[in-house]
Chains A and B, each alone.
Chain A
Amino acid sequence: MFLAFGIGAIVAAAIVWPLQRLPLRTDARREVWAQRVVHGAFRLFAWWAVTLGLIRVSWTGAERLRGRGPRLIVANHPTLIDVVLLLTRLPQADCIVKTAARRNPFMRSIVTGAGYLANDHGDALVDACADRIGRGRSVVLFPEGTRSPRGGLRSFQRGAAHIALKSGCPIVPVVITCRPPILLKGQPWHDVPDRTPRFVLRVEEPIDPARYLDAETTLPVAARRLTADLHMLYERRLSADEGKT
């Protein structure tokens, strides 16, 4: 799976690199084209992994991701390939990546070509995401900031709430589970379970940030409440899921 991913990244980079040099009218247009290449590459990768029986994938509520954006899509982050599966349903999505990804020789061309944002400056990143949303683009982020602990959830950073409140864009939560777990943080890639891991991605009802704003509520308080509600939603869904297994 890792080999396929590496080869895919090289192929995608080979497509994105000349795209960056095409005489398109704006950088934004180049970025969206590069994002479509990433979407296509990830679809191919997911199809390949499912066809070979390496993973199974099912979606519920995926129609909430169809049609024109902008959307602010947030997800928990149990495994290394969550973003791959998410992007199979999102032809355009601005992702937030670790600064290190911009230095990775496999990733650099794609990350910069697709205009993905670095996660280094909190307030500047919120402004940048709100700006992308203001231009009609969808943004994907993981409010835990890194992969979830085994079977659980980290506390959420408040960036997603701040972006939603600043832009007025609804948050679309996606709850991801993988049973049995693979590619967790700290889990070796060769730690393969004896049955095929099944990914379930549930797209929830969008949350309107306007509900959290009124004349008496300060922005930091609204961001805290929205983040707490979002975290509670994930806790409920994950514990309900745990009860089923």
Chain B
Amino acid sequence: MSHPEVSKDEIFKRLRDLLVGGFELRDEQIVPTARLIDDLELDSLDLVDFAVRLEQQVDLEIAEDELKGIKTVQDIVDLAYQKLNAGRP
């Protein structure tokens, strides 16, 4: 039996909780267009920690190369949507 599709809205909510809880950010800062480095002030160490949290809490594994390509919250939502729903018909 396959898992139900995870919607982009659901992924966004999970990411927002993770960013707010893990990095002391405010709910209203987490918008799809927010840039991780320039707007949310995550540094390279935060991004590594963020990738670990994604793996632990959202079961999403992001390779180092993929991490480098991520600029905004929407980029993660899109990548997560693609990965979490991979293999679905």
Binding site for B on A (CB under 8 A): 121-123, 126, 157-159, 162, 218-221, 223-225
Taking CB atoms, residues of chain A closer than 8 Å to B42 are 220
Q: From the candidates B24, B43, B48, name the one contacting A221 in the complex (CB within 8 A).
A: B24
Chain B: interface size category: 10 to 19
Given contacts A122-B43, A218-B22, A225-B24, 4 further A-B contacts (CB under 8 A): A123-B45, A123-B48, A157-B43, A158-B45
Taking CB atoms, residues of chain B closer than 8 Å to A223 are 45
The main secondary structure of chain A at its interface with chain B is: helix
Query: What 1/0 mask marks residues of chain B from 17 to 35 whose CB sits below 8 Å from any chain A CB?
Result: 0000111100000000000
Q: From the candidates A121, A159, A219, name the one contacting B49 in the complex (CB within 8 A).
A: A219
Name the distance in Å between A157's Cβ and chain B's nearest Cβ: 7
Q: From the candidates A159, A218, A221, name the one contacting B45 in the complex (CB within 8 A).
A: A159
Query: Bound state CA distance, A239 and B70, in angstroms?
Result: 39
Taking CB atoms, residues of chain B closer than 8 Å to A162 are 45
Taking CB atoms, residues of chain A closer than 8 Å to B49 are 218-220
Query: Once the chains bind, are A221 and B23 in contact (CB under 8 Å)?
Result: yes
Query: Bound state CA distance, A121 and B23, in angstroms?
Result: 21
Name the distance in Å between B43's Cβ and chain A's nearest Cβ: 6
Query: Once the chains bind, are A158 and B22 in contact (CB under 8 Å)?
Result: no
Query: Once the chains bind, are A220 and B23 in contact (CB under 8 Å)?
Result: yes
B44 at the interface (CB under 8 A from A): yes
B46 at the interface (CB under 8 A from A): yes
